[in-house]
Structure 1
Amino acid sequence: MIQDFELAAWNLTYLCIQPRLVYKQLFYHKQTKNIWARDDPATVILVVFALALSAIGWGVYYRRSPFGVAYLAILMIARDFLGAGVIVATAVWLLSKVFLVPSDPASHEIGSSLEWGYAFDVHTNSFFPLYLSLYLIQLFLAPLITKDRWVCLWLGNTLYLVAFAQYIYITYLGVNALPFLIRSELLLFPLIPLTLLYVISLLGFNVSSAVLRLYFG
């Protein structure tokens, strides 16, 4: 059990500095367990724990009551992480069946398909660097990036750009690591509208202020 958490902590650390290395470990897992998806909840538990800590931090910053902090933690865990994960994992799983398998059935390995559980693992991996940017770093930068100055707008919007770009890229790496899928580069397409929206936002829309107002009222 302790080893599971040590490995999960190692994976989460390297997802932020060298995400390709994390997915290189998949082949060892597949050879020993005969599945691509994780067979332990350690990574999910660590992410849930990190979100709970962030909820406390945001609750203190916005002076929420203990019940308000608990409600915030539930939102972050159930909606932002688990709910969004179910949606993203299902979308990637369906996309893989339509666009990412070889058109020639003979070239597709029997029994080789993207497991829904693995798609959720990919979401979990991609979510953690986003968590660090938007749930942790943004907390410390909130007094600055919500100010009505262009440089503050630029800093906050760039933080969101980096967070979602990391999410998209690590999701791509996770799908691209499976040897029986093709055209995984399609998963990088959201980077185009993301970049365009970022450029447009620099004309005067502070993403951080808008999101925090929506989130905390």
Structure 2
Amino acid sequence: MSHRDSSYSYRSTSPPVSPTLSPLASPLKAHAENSQRQEQRLSANAKRQKYLWRLLKFKQMDFEYAFWQMIYLFISPQKVYRNFQYRKNTKDQWARDDPAFLVLLSFWLLMSSVGFFVVLGLAWHEFIKFLLWMVFVDCIGVGLLVAIILWFFTNRYMLIAPPRGQDVEWAYAFDVHLNAYFPLVMILHLFQLPFLNTVIIDGGFFGRIFGNTLWLLAISYYIYITFLGYSALPFLKNTRTMLFPVTAVLVIYLLSLILSWNFSQGLRDFYKYRVF
């Protein structure tokens, strides 16, 4: 055997040296991941404090932009979420850093509460109680619960593996709820209110069709805008499953027409029971 062959045989039988055999690699990697998570938590706390602090400074809120978002949630909600993507590229966060949208939504809740104050014949103390329920329970309280459930569900089951250090921000999940809640309020409260007693409740079968159809549109639109919010995140998979509840809503709508359920009358009775 030649010297060249002998050298080749020796090199080919030598075990490869792996760079992962270093005992320091694993602790260093774990330390880096812990540092990254701690930095993300600090950043999230700073963003939350900034958001809450701006609630006290009306002059710094961009109400014009928030009003634009409200209009486009009806006209073209996809454009609203394209702006969320732009915020991620410019400010490195998906959630809003300006509470102007929440403030404007509270204003519309005030207007709808005034409408129910007239239609239901509430006293002034009942009106205050009704308004507090609307803002802090129906909007914010239920919104917090929905945001927590979807935030947990999407981060647990819908992240693309590997997640690449990205996850769904809880504040973004709450923003998605607010986006979807605004059209629902406008349809079921402000638009429905003039027809509530005369047409929907006292209008018989056709009034029930009209009122329940508004409920079908409002809830389906809530689900659709929620779907758009999570499908805008590039690191989530199977977001179309969020549209499945629309089928159940449609089935309940058909059953309501057959069994003479009037959702609007139930809403009116519930509101009366809650404040009386």
Distance 1:88 1:206, change over 3 A: same
User: 1:198 corresponds to which residue?
Assistant: 253
User: Identity of paired residues, percent?
Assistant: 38
> Can you list the C-alpha shifts for 1:146-202, whole angstroms capped at 9, x where unaligned?
115110010000000000000000000000001111111111111111111001001
Distance 2:63 2:80 in 1: 15
Distance 2:214 2:80 in 1: 24
The answer on 1:121 being equivalent to 2:175 is yes
Larger Rg: 2
User: 2:130 corresponds to which residue?
Assistant: 72
Match of 1:86 among 144, 147, 169: 144
The answer on 1:210 being equivalent to 2:266 is yes
User: 1:33 corresponds to which residue?
Assistant: 91
Distance 1:210 1:27 in 2: 39
Distance 1:148 1:137 in 2: 17
User: 1:168 corresponds to which residue?
Assistant: 223
User: 1:58 corresponds to which residue?
Assistant: 116
Count of residues paired in the alignment: 213
Give the AA of the match of 1:113.
Answer: D
State the secondary structure of the residue aligned to 1:25. Answer: helix
> Can you list the C-alpha shifts for 1:75-114, whole angstroms capped at 9, x where unaligned?
1111110011001101110110222112x32xx222x110
Alignment root-mean-square deviation, CA = 1.2
Distance 1:94 1:189 in 2: 18
State the secondary structure of the residue aligned to 2:62. Answer: helix
User: Which protein, 1 or 2, shows the higher relative CO under an 8 Å CA cutoff with sep ≥ 6?
Assistant: 1
Distance 1:194 1:114 in 2: 26
What is the TM-score when the length of structure 1 is the normalising length? 0.95
Match of 1:151 among 206, 213, 221: 206
Q: Check conservation: 2:69, 2:80, Cα contact below 8 A.
A: yes
Give the AA of the match of 1:63.
Answer: G
State the secondary structure of the residue aligned to 1:205. Answer: coil
Q: Check conservation: 1:99, 1:183, Cα contact below 8 A.
A: no
User: 2:188 corresponds to which residue?
Assistant: 134
Match of 2:237 among 150, 174, 182: 182
User: After the TM superposition, which of the residue ranges 10-19 and 59-68 deviates more from structure 2?
Assistant: 59-68
State the secondary structure of the residue aligned to 1:135. Answer: helix
State the secondary structure of the residue aligned to 2:98. Answer: coil
Give the AA of the match of 2:195.
Answer: L
Q: Check conservation: 2:61, 2:100, Cα contact below 8 A.
A: no
User: 2:101 corresponds to which residue?
Assistant: 43
Unaligned runs of 5+ in 1: none
1:25: how far off?
0.9
Distance 1:177 1:20 in 2: 9
What is the TM-score when the length of structure 2 is the normalising length? 0.75
User: 2:158 corresponds to which residue?
Assistant: 100
